[in-house]
Amino acid sequence: MTYCVAVKLNAGLVFLSDSRTNAGLDQISIFRKMIVYERPGERFMCLLSAGNLSISQSVREILQVEQLNDPAGGDPITIWNAKSMFDAARVLGSAVRHVFERDGEALKHAGVDFNVSMIFGGQIQGEGMRLFQVYSAGNFIEATAETPFFQIGESKYGKPVLDRVIRPDTPLNEAAKCVLVSMDSTLKSNLSVGLPLDLAIYEADQLSSDKITCIDHENPYFRMLHTVWGRKLREVFDGIEHPTWDNSHTDVPLLCAGTRVQPLKKLTNAREKLI
């Protein structure tokens, strides 16, 4: 399994992925889930993938050469000459469908689902930044101001902190810290996600990035974040009052006078009514 997250902000884009894959308790391996396509000064694109590893690797290979016909009759559209991120996302969707047409039936006969999901974002000269989530059918949706981040893989553990922190006007470094906390929460709760991590930060309109790094067990910032986040969570938890059943010790009792409510009664007889 894996966990990938990407955020679109006014200031730029943040991408983060883990690198653990497993096909059983004794078959755990490291494969990178992030790939950057960059032509400095012209385009910056980043792809994150989750799901069946063989499918995602095939899609990545085909994406390099996949072409779409230009409705205007021009040269075929590829990720390297697409004039918009929307067209580049269409090429990616076509690559997904290409792999399905080639391998889908054989996978079905082998009892394997065609399972792949991807996050694809970046900026091409002449337009603003865009971020997409691509599904197994090759269709996709785009991030908006109301939904500024996408997650794929084991997303549930890292979502709460993203929901509470990420807004379109969040600074890039703060967003990077937030996605790392999101990843740390996932690492803490799910053994199928693991280090090393790949992190890429893209500043709006730069059309290249020098902030791409791999984070392993020895990374001092991530070790500090893991320790401090765990300690601060415990401090906040300890700072919240314990529940009480009256207002003798607190202004916010769990039970206020006159508000006792009976729980639903478990039926022991089909004719018995709830009270």
Distance CA 44, CA 36 (A): 7
Residue 48: which of 92, 85, 83 has the closest Cα?
A: 92
pLDDT per position as a tens digit, 193-246: 999 999 999 999 999 999 999 999 999 999 999 999 999 999 999 999 888 777
Provide the terminal-to-terminal Cα distance of the chain, rounded to the nearest Å. Answer: 46
What are the residues facing 29 on neighbouring strands?
A: 21
Task: Collapse the DSSP code of 44 into the 3-class scheme (helix H, G, I; strand E, B; otherwise coil) and give the result.
Answer: strand
The model's pLDDT over 236-272, given as tens digits with 9 standing for 90+, comes to 999 998 887 776 667 787 776 666 667 766 666 655 5
For the stretch 156-171, pLDDT in tens is 999 999 999 999 999 9
Q: What pLDDT band is residue 148 in, cutting at 50, 70 and 90?
A: very high
| Contact by Cβ (8 Å): 180, 199 | yes
Higher per-residue pLDDT: 179 or 29: 179
Q: Is the Cβ–Cβ distance between 158 and 5 less than 8 Å?
A: yes
Regarding the domain delimited by 3-234, which CATH topology (the fold level of the hierarchy) does it fall under? Answer: Glutamine Phosphoribosylpyrophosphate, subunit 1, domain 1 (3.60.20)
Question: What are the tens digits of pLDDT across the range 6-27?
Answer: 999 999 999 999 998 875 556 6
CA distance 242 to 75: 67
* Residue 8 vs residues 93, 109, 140, 146, 202: alpha-carbon distances, Å: 20, 39, 16, 11, 10
CA 203 – CA 122 distance, rounded (Å): 10
Mean pLDDT, all residues of the chain? 92
Does position 145 have pLDDT exceeding 70, yes or no? yes
H helix runs in 65-158, sequence order: 85-109
Phi, psi of 230 (to 5 degrees): -65, -45
Determine the pLDDT at residue 245.
73
83-120 residue pLDDT tens: 999 999 999 999 999 999 999 999 999 999 999 999 99
Stated as kind and residue range, the H or E segment containing 207 is none
Query: What pLDDT does 21 receive?
Result: 81
Is residue 273 scored above 80 in pLDDT?
A: no
Listed in sequence order, the residues at least 6 apart from 127 whose beta carbon sits closer than 8 Å to its beta carbon are: 83, 84, 85
